[in-house]
Amino acid sequence: MPNIVIDPKKCKSCYLCVEACPRKVIKISNISGKTGSNIVEFDNTENKCTGCALCAISCPDLAITEVNK
Amino acid sequence: MQTFSIPKSLKENMIYTFCPGCDHGVAIRLIAELLDEFGLKENALTAASVGCSVFLYNFLDVDCVEAPHGRALACATGIKRAQPDKFVFTYQGDGDFASIGLAESTHAAARGEAITTICINNTLYGMTGGQLGPTTVLNQITTTSPHGRNREYHGFPLKMTEHIALCDGTAFAARVSLDSPAAIIKAKKAIKKAFEVQLKGLGFGFVEILSSCPTNWKMNPVESHKHIREELTKVYPLGTFKDLTEGL
């Protein structure tokens, strides 16, 4: 099943992955990160993720460390 | 099947120290991915510049020489001439490449040194607090131009890719941006060509990357990418300005 791995220590809450995801499976969580803003989380409850890796390509901080198809 | 993993040419367990949303992270990842693809990690040498781009050596697992401000291409010329079998590249910001190092940059291109240069253009001096630089666009507000860049007082911005493409020694010159996943994929192709011209010994390879600086532009990362797409590309058109590999 397609999934992504987000490293919460690396996420700086820029939300470029939220903008890049065509299926909108990356959401802003309730956990605050090291910049003070809320970090992102992977929410694939509807199995919409296709493993296209557009989120990982656009992440400037390599916080999305792994994408599986 | 894994569709994305962290490139091997990056240092293990490193965390970028750039501001949130800064495109330096993407540019360094693209270089690391290409070093992996070409198998150049053990054979690459780089001259670091001054500015935010200097942190390259904290993240990329290749040997690096720290050059004085603007002189990265002068250092890289020495490295390439002493060790012509090595792959030599520089990673510079626009203040380093187009302002203080303009003479070194232009002459390295004119001499046709087999070096690859990646220039990150964020239209101001990012590390020192957002001052007006040679590439600042007209009417852009910076800390040293609080009423915007004025054409009578500050003059016009410098277009480096067009300038470098005019040099006879240049084998490849292109301007790309990193504002969307599609643009990032195009940018990777351009950097790959700039690597190839060096490996084939055709001459100087140059890629200018339009990059965002959310901190000094005082925008959020998503807005700053929109600003690149809608405003900056009008002043700095994207595309390939010179490509000697086309006829080969």
Report the complex ipTM.
0.95
Distances (CA, A) of A67 to A28, A42, A49: 19, 11, 10
pLDDT value for B10: 94
Look up residue B201 and give its DSSP letter: T
In a domain, B212, yes or no: yes
In a domain, B6, yes or no: no
The rounded distance, in Å, linking the Cα atoms of B8 and B60 is: 9
In a domain, B69, yes or no: yes
- Among the residues of chain B, which ranges form H helices? 24-38, 56-59, 72-82, 94, 102-111, 160-165, 181-199, 214-217, 221-227, 233-235
Total domain count, chain B: 1
Residue A35 is part of which domain span?
Answer: 3-68
Which residues in chain A are contacts of B21 at CB distance < 8 A? 12, 14, 16, 60
The fraction of chain A above a pLDDT of 90, given in percent, is 83
pLDDT value for B232: 94
The angle subtended at Cα A62 by Cα A61 and Cα A68, nearest 5°, is: 150
B145-158 exposure pattern, b = at least 16 Cβ within 10 A, e = fewer: beeebeeeebeebb
Residue B243 is part of which domain span?
Answer: 24-247
- CB-based contact (8 Å) between B30 and chain A? no
The CATH number linked to A35 is 3.30.70.20
The fraction of chain B above a pLDDT of 90, given in percent, is 96
Q: Which of B6, B19, B225 sits opposite A62 (nearest CB)?
A: B6
Q: Name the nearest CA neighbour of A19 among B224, B139, B116.
A: B224
Sorting pLDDT into bands at 50, 70 and 90, what band is B248? low
In a domain, B10, yes or no: no
In a domain, B169, yes or no: yes
Total domain count, chain A: 1
Q: Tokens in use for A61?
A: 């901080």
Mean pLDDT value of segment B11-37: 94
Residues 104-163 of B with CB under 8 A from A: none
Q: Is the pLDDT of residue B219 over 80?
A: yes
The CATH number linked to B226 is 3.40.50.970
pLDDT tens, B84-129? Answer: 999 999 999 999 999 999 999 999 999 999 999 999 999 999 999 9
Sorting pLDDT into bands at 50, 70 and 90, what band is A67? very high
pLDDT value for B42: 92
Chain A residue with Cα closest to B179: A58
In a domain, B8, yes or no: no
Q: Are B223 and B203 a contacting pair, CB within 8 Å?
A: no
B130: left (phi over 0), alpha (psi -120 to 50) or beta: left
Q: What is the dihedral of CA B159, B47, B132, B104, to 10 degrees?
A: -50
Q: Is the pLDDT of residue B199 over 90?
A: yes
Asked whether the whole model's pTM tops 0.90, one would answer yes
What's the mean pLDDT when you consider all of chain B?
94
In a domain, B9, yes or no: no
pLDDT value for A1: 84
For residue B222, the distance in angstroms to the closest alpha carbon of chain A comes to 6
Sorting pLDDT into bands at 50, 70 and 90, what band is B31? very high
Chain B residue with Cα closest to A4: B4
In a domain, B66, yes or no: yes
pLDDT value for B245: 87
Sorting pLDDT into bands at 50, 70 and 90, what band is A35? confident
Q: What 3-state DSSP class applies to B79?
A: helix
